[in-house]
Amino acid sequence: MPRVKYRDADVDLMARMMRAEAEGEGKQGMLYVGNVIVNRAVADCLDFRDVRSIEDVIFQVQGNNYSFEAVQKGNLFYQRARSTEKRLARQNLENWRQHPAKFALWYFNPYAPCPPTWYGQPFTGQFKNHCFYEPAAGTCASVYMG
């Protein structure tokens, strides 16, 4: 059973975002980005109370900017999704999760060592250039479900 309801259009959208955000980090890096996307869709907490679909997650605006930088300035995001990335997106949607992004709601590339917290959220690990962060204890039980 999928972690979140999805349509073919969601697979395409998610695949494009995974490629745009992590193509240089290979399939594994793209899967980790996919973890974060799906986690945000199922998290009913913090900044993600009003996002329930993949489309909501991808196009969420916070502080007058899109949550994912690639939406506003990513050439790769606006290219057609390839079958490889679609396959990876389906894996995430169907339940693929792995550390360090297994429960992560955030990631970023600091172009430096990963800080131990990011906006008060604990560091869970790094993969290549991306640092991953999950909710602080007791702040988002829903991300740990399903």
Q: What is the pLDDT along the chain (146 residues), one digit of tens a residue?
A: 899 999 999 999 999 999 999 999 999 999 999 999 999 999 999 999 999 999 999 999 998 999 999 998 888 899 999 999 999 999 999 999 999 999 999 999 999 999 999 999 999 999 999 999 999 999 999 999 86
Three-state SS sequence of the chain: CCCCCCCHHHHHHHHHHHHHHHHHHHHHHHHHHHHHHHHHHHCCCHHHCCCCCHHHHHCCEECCEECCHHHHHCCHHHCCCCHHHHHHHHHHHHCCCCCCCCCCCEEECCCCCCCCEECCEEEEEEECCEEEECCCCCCCHHHHCC
Distance of alpha carbon 119 from alpha carbon 20, whole angstroms: 24
Q: Which of 63, 85, 81 shows the shortest CA–CA distance to 72?
A: 63
Q: CB count, 10 Å around CB of 65?
A: 11
- Sheet containing strand 130-133, edge to edge, reads 106-108, 130-133, 121-127, 117-118
Q: Which of 13, 26, 140 shows the shortest CA–CA distance to 68?
A: 13
Distance of alpha carbon 126 from alpha carbon 100, whole angstroms: 7
Whether the bond into 100 is cis, omega within 30 of 0: yes
**Whole-structure pTM value:** 0.96
pLDDT for residue 136: 95
- The residue type found at 119 is Y
pLDDT for residue 146: 65
